[in-house]
């Protein structure tokens, strides 16, 4: 933190500087995953489910993170189906107060997977790419635009089913490796297209959650994949994995991710002690108990705890509940400013 408390950086410069461990005028606040709420839908006039397949409304709703909440990033992907829908997974895009869901898992073997020639033209993909272009034109010189990619582990859940895929990690490891190899191509195509469209940073979601997957499983299957991703994608990458990943952190550093967006199940002090200056941390304000059901004072307390622990960028732990009170989202930014003013 520099020794002045007025804000002299753009949100984009502030976020990117913090991402790489540089100096900032204040702690940045981010939304690597969705911060959409019903209140923000009403304020923007852009509602679920139509925003998932309407690029102008997707961009308009995404921009509320900056325009209304005062966060330093804009991220326009509100569901997990961008790539999987383009690979043929049937999707129910939900209602105004529900998230999109996959309605079937059509694949039983990686040999059945092929990436369509028009993969990027599929409505789920094209909507995101065009929304990023819109946001780049309107905000690209002052706000960091984050793209979101679902990695091959997450895509395998969508195509083959979570339980079936995880069973294969025990019963047929070679089959799992083939899934990851084939699906990585789709993830990389998506990521590179989002970068070309104007994303400054990519959020890479690969849900090898600590609640379902052991650190050894991550090491054996995903670590080699993630090393390839960080080497070849061509932009800064934030890894996101839900759950308690405390015992995974050293592997994420080894994979060379620029930052890790982490869950409240991971203690911020422990995380920072583990990764040191090798990787920035983004997070980890609890959704269910604090943001959804707590008070602004509760949000302030957890935000200050994370910042005092050394977390470089403060953010909700994951996509927030759609009925999260607006005052609690605003409290994150206020607490970050308070912390910055006295440090």
Residue-wise pLDDT for 146-162, tens only, equals: 999 999 999 999 999 99
- In three-state secondary structure terms, 204 is strand
Please say whether the beta carbons of 63 and 55 come within 8 A: no
Q: Where residue 210 falls among pLDDT bands split at 50, 70, 90?
A: confident
Q: How far is CA 242 from the centre of its chain?
A: 10
The answer, yes or no, to whether residue 9 has pLDDT greater than 60, is: yes
Nearest partner of 63 among 82, 40, 80, 47, judged by Cα: 40
Q: What is the pLDDT of residues 211-247, one digit of tens each?
A: 899 999 999 999 999 999 999 999 999 999 999 999 9
In the predicted model, what is the mean pLDDT of residues 128-144? 98
* pLDDT at site 4: 39
Number of domains in the chain: 1
- With respect to residue 6, please indicate whether it lies within any of the assigned structural domains: no
Mean residue pLDDT across the chain: 97
- With respect to residue 4, please indicate whether it lies within any of the assigned structural domains: no
- With respect to residue 333, please indicate whether it lies within any of the assigned structural domains: yes
Torsion of CA 208, 209, 214, 220, to 10 degrees: 20
What percent helix, strand, coil does the chain show, rounded to 5? Answer: 50, 10, 40
Q: Where does residue 151 rank: exposed (0-12), middle (13-18), buried (19+ CB within 10 A)?
A: buried
- With respect to residue 261, please indicate whether it lies within any of the assigned structural domains: yes
The answer, yes or no, to whether residue 118 has pLDDT greater than 70, is: yes
Q: Where residue 5 falls among pLDDT bands split at 50, 70, 90?
A: low
- With respect to residue 3, please indicate whether it lies within any of the assigned structural domains: no
* pLDDT at site 1: 37
In the predicted model, what is the mean pLDDT of residues 242-257? 98
* pLDDT at site 178: 98
- With respect to residue 5, please indicate whether it lies within any of the assigned structural domains: no
What is the phi-psi region of residue 94: left when phi exceeds 0, alpha when psi lies from -120 to 50, beta otherwise?
A: left
Cα–Cα distance for residue pair 305/311, rounded to 1 Å: 9
The answer, yes or no, to whether residue 319 has pLDDT greater than 70, is: yes
In the predicted model, what is the mean pLDDT of residues 122-139? 99
The answer to pTM > 0.95 is yes
Q: Where residue 189 falls among pLDDT bands split at 50, 70, 90?
A: very high
Query: Percent of the chain scored above 70 by pLDDT?
Result: 99
Cα–Cα distance for residue pair 183/152, rounded to 1 Å: 5
* pLDDT at site 156: 98
- With respect to residue 212, please indicate whether it lies within any of the assigned structural domains: yes
Strands 91-92 and 101-102: antiparallel
Alpha-carbon separation of residue 222 from 125, 209, 214, 215 (angstroms): 24, 12, 11, 10
* pLDDT at site 3: 37
In the predicted model, what is the mean pLDDT of residues 156-174? 97
CATH at residue 102: 3.20.20.210
Provide the H-helix boundaries in 45-161: 55-62, 64-67, 82-86, 123-139, 152-160
Query: Which residues span the domain enclosing 120?
Result: 11-341
- With respect to residue 121, please indicate whether it lies within any of the assigned structural domains: yes
Cα–Cα distance for residue pair 29/70, rounded to 1 Å: 8
């Amino acid at each position: 933190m520099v020794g002045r408390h007025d804000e002299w950086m753009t949100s984009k410069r502030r976020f990117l500087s913090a991402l790489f461990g540089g100096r900032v005028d204040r702690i940045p606040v981010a939304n690597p995953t969705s911060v959409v709420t019903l209140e923000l839908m009403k304020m923007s006039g852009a509602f679920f489910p139509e925003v998932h397949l309407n690029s102008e409304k997707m961009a308009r709703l995404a921009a509320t993170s900056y325009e209304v909440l005062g966060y330093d990033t804009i991220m326009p992907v509100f569901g997990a189906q961008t790539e999987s829908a383009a690979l043929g997974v049937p999707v129910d895009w939900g209602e105004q107060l529900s998230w999109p869901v996959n309605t079937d898992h059509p694949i039983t073997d990686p040999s059945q997977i092929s990436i369509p020639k028009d993969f990027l033209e599929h409505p789920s993909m094209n909507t995101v790419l065009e929304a990023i272009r819109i946001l780049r034109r309107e905000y690209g010189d002052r706000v960091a635009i984050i793209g979101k990619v679902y990695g091959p582990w997450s895509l395998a859940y969508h195509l083959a089913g979570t339980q079936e895929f995880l069973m294969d990690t025990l019963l047929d490891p070679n089959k799992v490796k083939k899934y990851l190899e084939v699906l990585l191509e789709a993830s990389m195509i998506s990521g590179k297209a989002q970068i070309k469209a104007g994303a400054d940073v990519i959020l890479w979601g690969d849900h090898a959650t600590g609640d379902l997957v052991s650190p050894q499983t991550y090491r054996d299957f995903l670590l080699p994949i993630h090393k390839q991703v960080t080497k070849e994608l061509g932009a800064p990458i934030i890894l996101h994995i839900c759950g308690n990943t405390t015992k995974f952190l050293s592997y994420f550093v080894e994979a060379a991710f620029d930052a890790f967006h982490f869950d409240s199940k991971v203690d911020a002090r422990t995380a920072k002690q583990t990764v040191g200056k090798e990787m920035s941390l983004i997070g980890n304000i609890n959704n269910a108990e604090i943001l959804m059901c707590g008070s602004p004072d509760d949000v302030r307390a957890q935000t200050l705890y994370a910042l005092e622990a050394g977390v470089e960028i403060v953010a909700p732990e994951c996509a927030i509940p759609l009925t999260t009170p607006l005052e609690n989202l605003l409290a994150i930014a206020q607490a970050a400013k308070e912390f910055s003013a006295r440090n």
